[in-house]
Amino acid sequence: AIAAHPTHVMLSAASLARRHVGAALWSPSARAASASASFSSLVDVSPREFCDVLKSETAHARGFVMFDRAAQEVKAFPAALEPLGNAVRDSFPDYVNHEGMFFQVSESSDTLMSAFLHDTRRGQAAGGIRLWSYDAMKPLITDGLRLSLGMGRKSALAGLWWGGGKGIIHRTDELEEPHTSARRSVYHDFGRFLTSLRGCYVGAEDVGTTPADMQHVFERTRFTTCIPPSFGGSGNPSPATALGVVCAMEAALDAKALGSLEGKVVAMQGSGNVAIYMIEDLLERYALANVFMSLANAFMPLANIFMSLANAFM
């Protein structure tokens, strides 16, 4: 399923790494100089502390970890990140022959931006840009690994010539509110970050990121999808995602000869963007009364859900 596209051409890992940090910074002497301290416990530091490492170890507050499959080696810049790469390769269960991890501190704030590539042999890595908060680097990296792996597998199963990728922006207090200048600046920075990867990763909307945020990414890079329709894009992917989940539920029932969703009880954990559209789809298709919700995401407005429930039984 992960066979390479016959016409697909990608930059080599070393070439992409040189472009990401600059040829001068990639030199062996520069890498050796950055190994003056040991950072073997980088998985346990906070994203803010990780930003401090990147700023102290590099001239441009950025770095990468590449996994050379052929040589079975970890290549990192700065060299202080090499123990982190070894820890990921040797002890993270969600590491499955990933190609690399890229990190950069936002120019407009001390926000950590990251991109994870699973496999680009089928095509450019594609996946959403997640805005989420993390107490330490370990859960952030775990999310990046598992979600990029999932995107690659889904594309392969669907027969699409895309690889698996994931972008993560660590959410800080200044990014909580939408439509602020601080938030706009960080998404502009992420757009420039995407451009620096030369198209190996194409970003899209994901948890915490809105169509307006994707507009700001698009203003700084062409390597993005899910931009607002007013800019010629497809907009919010949540309705299509929700419909896909409902269809998958129907297919699973059919495969087990258990009939349709009619009369079934559906438990929903959370009421985020996808869940709301799923509930609407279920009500529209089946006038389903037995939709139980665990409101794990209480910050989401429930007016639309209650309106759909009311309309279904009017």
Q: What is the DSSP letter of 201?
A: E
Contact present, 268 and 279 (Cβ < 8 Å): yes
Calculate the dihedral angle through the C-alpha atoms of 247, 248, 251, 256, rounding to the nearest 10 degrees.
Answer: -140
Contact status, residue 112 vs residue 151, Cβ threshold 8 Å: no
Q: In the numeric block, which tokens belong to residue 303?
A: 């007016």
| 65: CB partners within 8 A, 6+ apart | 74, 75, 76, 81, 82, 84, 85, 88, 100, 101
Copy the structure tokens of residue 226.
């899910």
What is the DSSP code string of 240-251? HHHHHHHHHHHH
Nearest Cα to Cα of residue 111 among 72, 73, 55: 55
Q: Which residues pair with 292 in a beta bridge?
A: 267
Q: Which of 55, 75, 154, 166 is catalytic?
A: 166
Among this protein's residues, is 166 annotated catalytic? yes
* Residue whose tokens read 């390597």: 223
Residue 291: C-alpha distances to residues 182, 196, 213, 252, 283 (Å): 39, 45, 31, 18, 9
* 3-state SS, residue 119: coil
**Catalytic residue positions, numbered:** 166
